[in-house]
């Protein structure tokens, strides 16, 4: 296992629990990342919250599944919990100390302090995170091919398809070229001017790391910065209406926001060209001014920050294995999952699969109806040209056989199905779940 962060620790724990010997490499403290401050394993670099706990929320469902798979991190989190309403928040120092203690005390895990700068031999899980050291990043790029490794997120918001007001827009492709794959959200002149005003005055998020706000984005301009160049600029960029006729009026709209499908199920849509550094509350407020998105459910908001990740749809199996070299697994934020728990969960599953491979058994894909299974299926299978990291959300799950209109009841039913399917999966594959 390479990297003693959230994913690497879960991977080591999951593999050792299945009975294999693990070497876990961590480069700190000799080599620090720009965000870590200690030599502890599983250090939380920013917030101390792991998100909602309710099992009828996407983050809560993911946690429930991780518990079923024997998560070390959630065991440690429970012991270090601090009050945070419905969220699971921890005392970060106590949490990192608890994980470090459990890992170092495990008789089958050998913790080695040192940087890995080439792909190691044998069965390996690479979980070196968004701040992977430069030499290893170069080795990964060499292995996976040029243009397979990204160094920044430039993610646009994603909304659920069913939350878009279909009456206030239309499906079409520009100039009618190719299938009508885009949902177009028209704005009148007045709506556009109001939107532009709010966008250019909205509050921007603070940078995660020093220098991020200036360095990152020459090739991929945040929408608010583009807008600040002048009231007309967006009309020649992401909101350009040329080649689009609104079938309801027979006219070309004044401005158009385009949405593109984000997953094969067709349940999620990406706001084209809307990469942004606006604060999340501001994104919800300003983007809801687009009439078709007035009631939109945002399952991921836009971010732009430093983040090393691979193009998983081209490279990975849902087992976490590299397609062209299946002895090599990737896990954590490096695979294009987004967030503490998503990283940890992907590590846990990669560790379990790496152990299976070491024991001569077939690595497995989780049912796609589970939150973790759906997330891993998404990153290894996303059709998006511009692959960007993804967090746990209900839009990733295949729709229920029976339609439920009420959102809370639908989410509850999706969670119940996920847990039932995970239970059946673990009953079938005896030995994966902790005794």
Ligand X SMILES: Cc1cc2nc3c(=O)[nH]c(=O)nc-3n(C[C@H](O)[C@H](O)[C@H](O)COP(=O)(O)OP(=O)(O)OC[C@H]3O[C@@H](n4cnc5c(N)ncnc54)[C@H](O)[C@@H]3O)c2cc1C
Q: Which residues of the shown chain bind ligand X in the complex (CB under 6 A)?
A: 2-8, 25-28, 33, 35-36, 45-47, 115-116, 127-133, 136, 208-209, 332-334, 339-340, 343
**Least distance (Å) between residue 231 CB and ligand X:** 34
- Would you say 36 or 260 has its CB closer to ligand X? 36
Smallest distance, ligand X to C-beta of residue 382, A: 18
Distance in Å, CB of 27 to ligand X, minimum: 4
Q: Which is nearer to ligand X, 369 or 393 (CB)?
A: 393
Q: Which residues contact 379 (CB under 8 A, 6 or more apart)?
A: 312, 313, 316, 335, 336, 337, 387, 390
Residues 6+ apart with CB under 8 A from 145: none
Closest distance of CB 99 from ligand X, Å: 11
Smallest gap from Cβ 209 to ligand X, in A, equals 5
**Which residue, 210 or 247, has its beta carbon nearer to ligand X?**
210
Nearer to ligand X (CB atom), residue 54 or residue 113: 113
Closest CB 212 distance from ligand X, rounded Å: 9
Looking at the Cβ atoms of 274 and 340, the one nearer to ligand X is 340
Q: Which is nearer to ligand X, 343 or 380 (CB)?
A: 343
Shortest Å distance, C-beta 433 to ligand X? 23
Give the shortest CB-149-to-ligand X separation in angstroms: 13
Q: Minimum CB separation from ligand X for residue 334, in Å? A: 6
| Closer residue to ligand X, CB minimum distance, 129 or 222 | 129
- Minimum distance, C-beta of residue 39 to ligand X, in the bound complex (Å): 9
Which is nearer to ligand X, 72 or 272 (by Cβ)?
A: 72
∠426-129-3 over CA atoms, to 5°? 75
Q: Are 363 and 374 in contact (CB under 8 A)?
A: no
Q: Which residue is nearest to ligand X (CB)?
A: 5
3-state SS string over the chain? CECCCHHHHHHHHHHHHCCCCEEEEECCCCCCCCCCCCCCCCCCCCCCEEEECCCCCHHHHHHHHHHHCCCHHHHHHHHCEECECEEEEECHHHHHHHHHHHHHHCCCEEEEECCCCCCCCCCEEECCCCCCCHHHHHHHHHHHCCCCEEEECCECCEEEHHHCCHHHCEEECHHHCCCCCEEEEEECHHHHHHHHHHHHHCCECCCCCCCHHHHCCCCCCCHHHHHHCCCCHHHHCCCCCCCCCECCCCECCCEEEEEEECCCCCCEEEECCCCCCECHHHHHHHHCCCHHHCCCCEEECCECCEEEEECHHHHECCCCEECCEEEEEECHHHHCECCHHHHHHHHHHHHHHHHHHHCCCCCCCCCCCCHHHHHHHHHHHCCCCCCCCECCCHHHCCCCCCCCCCHHHHHHHHHHHHHHHHHHHHHHCCCCCCC
Q: Of 141, 276, 142, whose CA–CA distance to 200 is shortest?
A: 276
Residue nearer to ligand X on the CB measure, 25 or 349: 25
Nearer to ligand X, 20 or 44 (CB): 44
CB of 193 to ligand X, least distance (A): 35
| Cβ 327 vs Cβ 353: under 8 Å | no
Nearer to ligand X, 4 or 363 (CB): 4
Phi and psi at 88, nearest 5°, equal -95, 105
């Amino acid at each position: 296992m390479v990297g003693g962060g959230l994913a690497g620790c879960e991977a080591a724990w999951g593999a050792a629990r299945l009975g294999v010997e693990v070497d876990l490499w961590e480069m700190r403290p000799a080599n620090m990342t720009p965000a870590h401050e200690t030599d502890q394993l599983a250090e939380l670099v920013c917030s101390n919250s792991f998100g909602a706990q309710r099992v009828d929320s996407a983050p809560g469902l993911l946690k429930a599944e991780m518990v079923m798979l024997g998560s070390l991190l959630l065991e440690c989190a429970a012991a270090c919990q601090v009050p945070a309403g419905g969220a699971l928040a921890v005392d970060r120092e106590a949490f990192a100390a608890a994980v470090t203690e459990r890992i170092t005390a495990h008789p089958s895990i050998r913790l080695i302090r040192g940087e890995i700068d080439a792909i190691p031999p044998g069965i390996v899980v690479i979980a070196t995170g968004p701040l992977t050291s430069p030499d290893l990043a170069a080795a990964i790029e060499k292995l996976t091919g040029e243009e397979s490794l990204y160094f920044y997120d430039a993610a646009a918001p994603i909304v659920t398809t069913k939350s878009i007001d279909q009456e206030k827009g239309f499906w079409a492709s520009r100039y009618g070229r190719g299938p009508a794959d885009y949902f177009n959200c028209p704005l009148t002149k007045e709506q556009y001017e109001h939107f532009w005003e709010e966008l250019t005055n909205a509050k921007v998020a603070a940078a995660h790391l020093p220098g991020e706000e200036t360095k990152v984005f020459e090739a991929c301009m945040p929408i608010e910065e583009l807008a600040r160049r002048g009231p007309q600029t967006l009309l020649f960029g992401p909101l350009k209406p040329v080649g689009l006729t609104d079938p309801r009026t027979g006219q070309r709209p004044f401005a158009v926001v385009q949405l593109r499908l984000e997953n094969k199920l067709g349940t999620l849509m990406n706001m084209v060209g809307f990469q942004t550094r606006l604060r999340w509350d501001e994104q919800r407020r300003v983007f809801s001014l687009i009439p078709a998105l007035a009631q939109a459910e945002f399952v991921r908001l836009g971010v732009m920050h430093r983040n090393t990740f691979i193009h998983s749809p081209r490279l990975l199996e849902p087992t976490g294995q590299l397609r062209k070299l299946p002895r090599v697994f990737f896990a954590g934020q490096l695979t294009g999952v987004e967030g503490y728990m998503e990283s940890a969960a992907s590590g846990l599953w990669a560790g379990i699969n790496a152990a299976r491979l070491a024991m001569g058994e077939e690595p497995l894909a989780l049912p796609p109806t589970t939150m973790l299974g759906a997330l891993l299926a998404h990153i290894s299978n996303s059709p998006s040209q511009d692959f960007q990291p993804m967090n746990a959300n209900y839009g990733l799950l295949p729709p229920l056989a029976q339609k439920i209109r009420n959102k809370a009841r639908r989410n509850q039913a999706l969670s119940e199905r996920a847990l039932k399917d995970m239970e059946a999966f673990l009953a079938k594959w005896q030995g994966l779940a902790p005794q």
